[in-house]
Structure 1
Amino acid sequence: MNEVENYISRFEPEIQSRLKIMRELFFEVLADTEESIRYKMPAYKVGKYHLYFAAYKKHIGFYPVYGLTEIEDEILVYRAKKAKDSLHFPHDKALPIDLLKKIIRLKSLLN
């Protein structure tokens, strides 16, 4: 079991399922992405940047999401209050799979 799998295994099954989906999206969009734990959360190398996610009691946080002005309208609904780079995906709502793929793809293209 690698570090990310260990991180995911610490949560309840419903949360584990959501975290596994997010993890798989990175490899689906960027097959050769590098996976690690940074700042105590799963981290994925996308281009010259990293994207992170972390589970909390009521949501999954996704960081940092900036520089994506072309999809700002799509991500606005998920923006964390008082945080310009963070998105929150509540556990009681479906993950926005297509939006997550788009974010991963676009972040990998930023210079």
Structure 2
Amino acid sequence: MWKCPKCGREFKNTEQDHFCGKPNSIDEYIAAQSESVRPLLQSIRETIHAAAPEATEKISWQMPTFWQDENLIHFAAFKKHIGIYPGGEATAEFAERLAGYRTSKGAIQLPLGKPIDDELIADIVAWRIRRKAKGSEIT
């Protein structure tokens, strides 16, 4: 086990990417990230907000989250990518458009150093809202 010298949390992997402490807001989360990543996170936040204007911002699982009767999407910064977490059905639904990204069930990695596809993020969020409105179970 590796113990972070800053926050004292323990992880299986040495130098595990994580957020030290517990952010209370998305503003606080973004402010704690590196200067180069902050504008990317802010852009993702604005894209999600535009696609889901009725959603509430919160921190869930220590990540920025947009909530609209349920978690619509989370996002988080890592050493080499920004992860977005729209749920397993979304990654299956958008599999064709996600062909150039690393994905796993419910997770999409947006590599740092490459342009962020704001349209893709907005489309995923809009799809999540439509699915929720139809009463479909979203994982």
Equivalent position SS for 2:123: helix
Q: Partners of 1:48 and 1:39 in 2: how far apart?
A: 14
- Of 91, 110, 119, 1:98 maps to 119
Q: Partners of 2:40 and 2:32 in 1: how far apart?
A: 13
Segments of 4+ in structure 1 off by > 3 A? Answer: 46-49
- Post-superposition Cα deviations, 1:11-60, rounded to whole Å, max 9, x if no partner, equal 12220000000111121111121110000000102564431000001100
How many residues were matched structurally? 108
Paired residue for 1:17? 39
The one-letter code of the counterpart of 2:108 is L
The two structures have a TM-score, normalised by structure 2, of: 0.70
What percent identity do the matched residue pairs reach? Answer: 26
Unaligned runs of 5+ in 1: none
Is structure 2 residue 113 aligned with structure 1 residue 87?
Answer: no
Give the root-mean-square deviation of aligned CA atoms: 1.7
- Of 49, 56, 74, 1:52 maps to 74
Deviation at 1:62?
A: 0.6
Residue pairs, 1:34-45, within 5 angstroms = 34-45=56-67
RCO (CA 8 Å, sep 6+): is it higher in 1 or 2?
1
The two structures have a TM-score, normalised by structure 1, of: 0.86
Unaligned runs of 5+ in 2: 1-23
Is structure 2 residue 77 aligned with structure 1 residue 73?
Answer: no
The one-letter code of the counterpart of 1:77 is G
Q: Cα 1:25–1:46, aligned 2, differ >3 Å: closer, same or farther?
A: farther
